[in-house]
Amino acid sequence: MAWLSTLVSKALEKVAVTTPAQLRATGILSMNCRNLNYISRYNPRRLLPLVDDKLTTKRMAEKAGVEVPKLIAVIEYQSDIRNLKSVLDPLQQFVIKPAKGSGGKGILVITGRDGDRFIKASGDSLSFEAISRDVSNILGGLYSLGGKTDVAVIESLIQADPIFNDYSFEGVPDIRVIVFRGFPVMAMMRLATRASDGKANLHQGAVGVGLDIATGHSLRSVQRGQPVQQHPDTGHDFSALKVPHWHKILSLSAACYEMTDLGYLGVDLVLDKNLGPLILELNARPGLAIQIANGQGIEPRLKTVEALSRHDLPIAERVAFSQQHFGVLANAAPQDSGGHKNTTTFRSS
Amino acid sequence: MKGRFQLGLMIALLIVAGLGLTLYKHFALGFPLLGKDVSTVWSIEAWVSFKAEGEAAQASLTLPDQQSDVWIMDESFASPGYGINQINDGGQRRAVWSIRKADGRQDLFYKVKLRLESGLSPNVNDQPEAFIAPVLPEPYQTAAQSLLKQVTESSANATSFASTLLGLFSASKPDQNVNMLLGMTDEGVKIPELLINLLRMGNIPARIVRGLHLEDGRRRQPIVDMIEIYDGDQWHLFDPRTGQSGNPKAFFLWQRGAKSLLDVMGGVNSDVKFSIISQQIPTRDLALAQATQEQAALIDFSIYALPLEAQNAFKIILLIPIGVLVVLFMRIIVGLRTSGTFMPVLISMAFLQTQLLPGLVIFISLVSIGLWIRSFLSQQNMLLVARLGAVIIVVILLMAVMSVLSWKLGITQALTVTFFPMIILAWTIERMSILWEEEGPRDVLKEGGGSLLVATLSYLLMSNPVVEQLTFNFPELMLTLLGLVLLLGQYTGYRLLELKRFYPLVRAARQPR
In a domain? residue A190: yes
Would you say residue A79 has pLDDT above 80?
Answer: yes
The answer, as to whether pTM is greater than 0.90, is no
In whole angstroms, give the CA distance from residue A166 to residue A176: 19
Claim to verify: residue B112 and residue B155 sit in the same structural domain: no
Q: Is residue B9 part of a domain?
A: no
- What is the domain range of residue A114? 70-155
Determine, for residues A36 and B494 on separate chains, whether the beta-carbon distance falls below 8 Å: no
CB contact at 8 A, A43 and A262: yes
Alpha-carbon span B109 to A118, nearest angstrom: 99
Q: How many CB atoms lie within 10 A of CB B205?
A: 19
Using a CB-CB cut-off of 8 Å, the residues of chain A touching B494 are: 20, 23-24, 28, 30, 32
Q: Are residues A147 and A232 in the same domain?
A: no
pLDDT at A343: 41
Banded pLDDT at A341 (limits 50, 70, 90):
very low
Q: Give the model's pLDDT for residue A144.
A: 77
Residue of B nearest to A30 (CA): B494
Domain boundary among A155, A190, A211: A155
Which residues of chain A have a CB within 8 Å of the CB of B343?
none
The CATH number of the domain holding residue A174 is 3.30.470.20
B117 and B141 in a single domain? The answer is no
Does B439 lie in the same domain as B335? yes
**Backbone φ and ψ of A13, nearest 5°:** -60, -40
The answer to whether position A205 is within a domain reads: yes
d(CA A170, CA A193): 7
CA–CA gap between residue A159 and residue A271 (Å, rounded): 8
Q: Which of A14, A24, A32 best tests the B interface by mutation, with the highest count of B CBs <10 A?
A: A32
Same domain, A332 and A251: yes
A122 and A175 assigned to the same domain: no
pLDDT, mean over chain A: 84
Q: Is A125 helix (H, G, I), strand (E, B) or coil?
A: strand
> pLDDT confidence of B297, banded at 50, 70, 90?
low
* pLDDT of A103: 64
Q: Which amino acid is at B498?
A: E
B257 & B370 share domain: no
In this complex, which of B489, B490, B494 lies closest to A30 when CB atoms are compared?
B494
Q: Is the model more confident about B102 or about A340?
A: B102
Q: Which residues of A touch B508 (CB under 8 A)?
A: 220, 227, 295, 343
Are A84 and A115 in the same domain?
yes
Q: Do A234 and A90 belong together in one domain?
A: no
**By three-state DSSP, how is residue B82 classified?**
coil
Average confidence (pLDDT) over B27-43: 74
Residues A180 and A31 in one domain: yes
Please give the residue range of the domain that contains residue B384. Answer: 312-474
Alpha carbon distance A176, A187 (integer Å): 6
Per-residue model confidence (pLDDT) at position A333: 40
Phi, psi of A303 (to 5 degrees): -65, -35
Please check whether residues A260 and A206 belong to one and the same domain.
Answer: yes
Q: Are strands B206-213 and B224-230 parallel, antiparallel or unpaired?
A: antiparallel
Indicate whether A339 pLDDT > 70. Answer: no
The domain tally of chain A equals: 2
B175 with B217, same domain? no
Is there a contact between A142 and B502 if contact means CB atoms under 8 Å apart? no
B222 and B151 fall within a common domain: no
Give the distance from residue B458's alpha carbon to the nearest chain A alpha carbon, in angstroms.
Answer: 22
Average pLDDT over residues B410-432: 73
Mutual orientation of helices A246-260 and A315-325 as an angle, nearest 10°?
Answer: 120
- With 50 as the cut, is the pLDDT of residue A331 above it? no
Whether B150 is in a domain gets the answer: yes
Comparing CA positions, the residue from B422, B455, B441, B438 lying closest to residue B371 is B441
A136, part of any domain: yes
* Residue B499, domain member (yes or no): no
Claim to verify: residue A151 and residue A170 sit in the same structural domain: no
Question: Among B202, B196, B108, B186, which residue's Cα sits nearest to residue B150?
Answer: B202
Share of chain B above pLDDT 90, in %: 12
3-state secondary structure of A274: coil
Same domain, A93 and A77: yes
- Whether residue B393 is found in the same domain as residue B463: yes
**Domain match, B92 and B216 both:** yes
Q: What is the mean pLDDT of residues B122-139?
A: 75
pLDDT higher for A144 or B164?
Answer: B164
- The answer to the question of residue B214 being in a domain is yes
Check whether residue B357 and residue B449 sit in a common domain. Answer: yes
Does residue A307 register a pLDDT over 90?
A: yes
Rounded mean pLDDT, A157-172:
81
B85 and B217 in a common domain: yes
Give first-to-last CA distance, chain A, whole Å.
14
Name every chain A residue with its beta carbon within 8 A of the beta carbon of B438.
105, 142-143
- Best of B388, B494, B507 to disrupt the A interface (most A CBs within 10 Å) is B494
Q: Are residues A132 and A235 in the same domain?
A: no
pLDDT of amino acid B303: 65
The 3 state secondary structure assigned to B270-284 is: EEEEEEEEEEEEEHH
Could you say which DSSP state residue B310 is in?
Answer: H
Predicted complex ipTM: 0.75
* 3-class DSSP state of B197: helix
User: Which runs of E-coded beta strand occur in A229-305?
Assistant: 264-272, 276-283
Residue B500 with chain A: CB contacts under 8 Å: 16-18
Task: Say if the Cβ atoms of A32 and B495 lie within 8 Å.
Answer: yes
Is A271 a domain residue?
A: yes
Query: Does A8 map to a domain?
Result: no
Mean pLDDT of A6-21: 84
Q: Would you say how long chain A is, in residues? A: 349
A305 with A322: CB under 8 angstroms? no
CB contacts, 8 Å: B495 with chain A: 30-32
Give me the phi and psi of A28, to 5 degrees please. Answer: -75, 135
Residue type, B368: S
Whether A140 sits inside 8 A of B492 (CB atoms) is no
Is B323 a domain residue? yes
The pLDDT of residue B349 = 87
B361 with B458, same domain: the answer is: yes
Nearest residue, CB atoms, B505 vs list A105, A147, A291: A291
Best of B385, B442, B498, B502 to disrupt the A interface (most A CBs within 10 Å) is: B502
Contact yes or no for A270/A278 (Cβ under 8 A): yes
Q: Contact A168/A182 with Cβ under 8 angstroms? A: no
Among A155, A182, A211, identify where a domain stops. Answer: A155
Selecting from B384, B489, B512 the residue whose C-beta is nearest the C-beta of A141 gives: B384
Give, as one character, the DSSP assignment of residue B241: T
Q: Is B2 a residue whose pLDDT tops 80?
A: no
**Min distance B471 CA to chain A CA atoms (Å):** 29
Q: Give Cβ neighbours of residue B25 (< 8 Å, ≥ 6 apart).
A: B31, B298, B473, B474, B476
Residue A329 lies in a domain: yes
Mean pLDDT of A128-132: 88
**Do B319 and B400 belong to one domain?**
yes
- Give a yes or no: residue A250 inside a domain: yes
The average pLDDT across B460-487 equals 88
Q: Which residues pair with B109 in a beta bridge?
A: B47, B78
Within 8 A of B499 by CB-CB distance, chain A residues are 17-20, 23
Same domain, A178 and A135: no
Is B380 contained in some domain?
yes
Is residue B154 in a domain? yes
Tell me the average pLDDT across B412-441: 74
How near does any CA of chain B get to the CA of A18, in Å?
5
Residues A204, A327 within the same domain: yes
HSE on the CB side for B357, CA within 13 Å?
Answer: 1
Q: What whole-number distance in Å separates Cα of residue A82 and Cα of residue B132?
A: 119
Min Cα–Cα distance to chain B from A274, Å:
32
Give the residue from A155, A173, A198 where a domain finishes.
A155
Whether residues B500 and A16 touch (CB distance < 8 A) is answered with yes
Residue B414 pLDDT > 60, yes or no? no
Q: Taking CB atoms and an 8 Å cutoff, what residues of chain A touch B506?
A: 18, 22-23, 26, 28
Kindly state the average pLDDT of the residues B294-312.
65
pLDDT digits (tens, 9 = 90+) for B210-263: 888 888 777 777 888 888 888 888 888 888 887 777 777 778 888 887 788 898
Last residue of a domain, one of B156, B171, B204: B204
**DSSP structural state of residue A230:** B
* Separation of alpha carbons B476 and B321, rounded Å: 12
Q: Per-residue pLDDT for A120 more than 60?
A: yes
Total structural domains in chain B?
Answer: 3
Q: Examine residue A135 and state whether it is found in any structural domain, yes or no.
A: yes
